Amino acid sequence: MVFIFCHRVHREHRGINMKNDNKQSDFKNLPNCAAEYIKLVIKKMKWRKSVRADVQAELIGHFEDALRDCKNEDEKETKAKELIANFGDAKLIADLAAKKRCRPLWVKALIRTAQTTGIIILFIIIRSLPMVIGSPTISVNYAEWLNEKVRAGRDESLNAKPFYDKAINNLVEQPKWLQEIKTSWPGDFNEQQLGEFKVWYDKNKYSFEAFRQGSAKPAYWNTYNTNEPNMQGTLQSMMKHLVIRKIVQNICWKMRYDTYNNDYNSATTDIIALIKLGQNMHGQGTLIEQLVGIAIEAVGIGVIFENGGKVDWPEEKLGEIQTQLEQDIDKPVITLDGEKAFMYDYIQQSFTDDGYGNGRILKKGMPIAFDNWREFLKDFFITGFPDRRQTVAKIESLYELSEQRFSITPIELKDEPIDKPLYPVEKNPFLLSTENSLANKKLIEITWRLKTDRDGQIATLAILRYHKQTGKYPDSLEELLNKGFIKRVPFDAYRNGEMTYKKIGDSFTLYSFSNNFKDDGGDSTLGKWREDGDAVFWPVKSK
Amino acid sequence: MKFERELLKGVAPVVVLEIMSRGRMYGYELSEAIENKSQKILTLGQGTLYPLLYNLESQKLIKGEWETAESGRKRRYYSITSKGKQRLETDKSQLADLFKSLKLVFGTSFAGAN
C-alpha cells in the first residue's frame, strides 16, 4: 500500500514545476519517496510561497530526524514509507497545515485593502482639515484699488461719466424699423421713414446734448461699487453701465443724418466724440469695458467712410478726425488691472493671512492654486499645497506673460491654434483656465485689428487731405510721411511690414493683408476682416 | 495501546501544551517526547502533529521560531506562551474534574481511580 502511494506520489510529482519552492539539494538526505511526498504536500498547499517554504523545511527536518538513526539506505527507505503512511493523505495534511498556518490570500488582501483605505481616508481628513479651519482676512477693498487705478489721480470734474449717464437716462430707443434697416444712408429712407426718423432725432435732443457735453471732458472713467462683498459682485454691478453701447448706436445715426444734411461740423464733432469715448474706455478698467471701448472706437472709425461715395468731407474736417485718431496711438489697447483686482481679491478671500503677506490655502482657493487634477493630487498627497505667496507669484507671472503677448503680431501667431491656452491648464473647475484666455490669440487679434484699422484710417484721411491740397495722390506712403501728412508709415501687423498702398490712375488703394496673411490684390467688394481677402481701407465698399 | 482518534483529539492540545511547558521543542522532538512520556501509550499521528502545532500557534498559545543549529540545519522550535500557560491550567483543571466525574460514574473499575 505504501509502495503504491509512493509510486503515485512520484507519478503526480512529474508535473510539479520544480522552480516553485524546492531545491533538489534540500532533499539530499532523504529517500526519494520522502522527498516526493513532501513536494506533493507543498504542491497541494497552494498558499503563500513563504508559508510553503516554512512547512517544507519543517517536514524535511522531521523526516531527517526520524531517519537519522537508520543504518543503511534500505532501512531509511522502509522507515520513510512508514512515516509517510503515518502522515496520511498529502492533500489532507496540506489543507490542514495551510489553514492553520495562515489566512487565505483573499482574506489577507481584503484586510490589507481595508487597512490601506482607512489610512488613506485618515490622511485625506488630516490633509483637508487646514482647508476648512481658519478664515480669510479682508484687508484690501479691491474695488477701491481699481477705482484709484482708473482715476489715476485725476480730478472728478474731468470725468465725462456724469454726462454720459445723463445721456443714457435721456436716451430714446430707435424705432424697430431703424434697428433692422439695411442701409446706413438717410437718403435711402422713404418719406414716412424720414418723418419718423426726425421725430426720433428730436426726442433724443437732450441725450445728444449730454453726450456732446461729456465729449468735451478730457477723460472718462467708471467708478466701481465698493460696497459689494467681493470683486465678483462689483463686476456684476458694473455690467449695467455697458448700456452706453446704445448711445453709440444713436450717435451713429445722428452723424449719418447730419452728413446727409451737409452739416459736417456736427458730424465731425460726433465722430470725434465716438472715437474719444472708445479711446477713453480701453486701456483701463475691466477687460469687458475695454472690449466695448475697442468696439466703440472701431464703430467711430467705420462710420467715417461708410457712405464715402456719397459724402465729400471738407479737408479741414478730415484733419480734425485724423488728429483725434492719432491721440494716444501708442497707448496700450488692453491693460489687465481689472482682472488683477478680481484675482487679488479672490486670493484675499481664499487664503488665510499671517500678517506678513503669506498664508495657507482655504477650500475656496483650490481653483486658482492648481492648474489641473494631477497637480492637485500631487500637492495633496506628496508636496503639500502652495501658500499665498506662491499663488500670488504664479498669478503675477501669468499676467506678465499675458501683457508681453499683446506685442506679438497676428502673423507671428499664425500657426498658433485660436484657443490655445497660455500654458496647459485644464478647463473647469480651475479658475486659471478662464484667466488663461486673457492673452490668447483671439484677444490679441482683436487689439491688432483695432490698431490696423486706426493706422489704415489715419493714412486714408491723410491721402484724401493730400489730394485735396495737391490735386493728386502721393506716389508712396513715405512721400506722405516726408510731407508731414502722417506721423509714421501705417503698419500692417498681418504681414509685419508697411501697409500696401497703390496709386491707380486717378484713385488709390490702401489695404492690409488681413487674416489670410497674403496679398489678394485689395478687392474692396469683399468687406473687411474676412478670413479670405484683404482688409481694404480705400476704396470704400459701398452699401 | 492506541487510543481512538476522537478520544485523543480533545486531549492532544493539552498534552502538547503540557510537554511544551517543560521546555521548547521542535516537531519531531515533541512527537518523540509524547511517546516517551506516555510510555508509547499516547502517539500523535505525524499527520496530526503539524496541523495541531499550527493551530496552537494561530491561537497564540505557542510560538515558533526558526533557529540554525551548529550543524547548519534549520529547525523550528516551539515554546509555550503566557496565554498558552493560562489555557493549560484551565484545561488541566477541567481534565481533573472530568476524571473525578468519571470515577464517580465508573467507581472502582475506573483505572484513574487508583
Three-state secondary structure string covering B29-64: HHHHHHHHHCCCCCCCCHHHHHHHHHHHHHCCCEEE
CA separation for the pair A174, A24 (Å, rounded): 102
Which pLDDT value is given to residue A431? Answer: 54
pLDDT value of residue A239: 78
Decide: helix, strand or coil at residue A330: coil
Identify the weakest region by mean pLDDT among A309-313, A511-515, B2-6.
Answer: B2-6
Predicted confidence (pLDDT) per residue in A36-94, tens digit: 999 998 888 866 787 888 888 889 988 988 888 888 888 999 999 988 988 888 888 88
- Give the 3-state secondary structure percentages of chain B, helix then strand then coil, rounded to 5: 60, 15, 25
Instruction: Give me the total of CB pairs closer than 8 Å, taking one residue from chain A and one from chain B.
Output: 57
pLDDT(A158) > 80: yes
Using CA atoms, how far apart are residues A440 and A435, in angstroms rounded to an integer? 10
pLDDT band at A505 (very low <50, low <70, confident <90, very high): confident
Question: What torsion do the CA atoms of A276, A522, A309, A504 make, to the nearest 10 degrees?
Answer: 120
Query: What is the C-alpha to C-alpha distance for residues A320 and A462, in angstroms, rounded to an integer?
Result: 11
Mean pLDDT (chain A, rounded): 85
Chain B partners of A100 at a C-beta cutoff of 8 Å? 51, 54-55, 57-58
| Share of residues in chain A with pLDDT > 70 (%) | 88
Phi, psi of B73 (to 5 degrees): -80, 135
pLDDT at B35 over 90: no
How far does the CA of residue A427 sit from the closest CA of chain B (Å)?
A: 55
The percent of residues in chain A predicted with pLDDT above 90, rounded, is 43
The partner residue sitting opposite A101, judged by closest CB among B45, B54, B75, is B54
Per CB-CB distance under 8 Å, the chain B contacts of A53 are: none
Q: When comparing pLDDT for A274 and B112, which is higher?
A: A274
Question: Per-residue pLDDT for A333 more than 90?
Answer: no
What pLDDT digit, counting tens, does each position of A20-35 carry?
445 666 788 889 999 9
Task: Tell me the pLDDT band of A435, cut-offs 50, 70 and 90.
Answer: low
In this complex, the residue of A55, A65, A88 whose CB is nearest that of residue B28 is A65
Contacts of B46 in chain A (CB under 8 A): 62, 83, 86-88
Which residues of chain A have a CB within 8 Å of the CB of B45?
A: 86-88
Instruction: Say if the Cβ atoms of A65 and B57 lie within 8 Å.
Output: no
Kindly state whether B72 is in contact with chain A, defined as any CB-CB distance less than 8 angstroms: no
Give the per-residue pLDDT at A130: 86
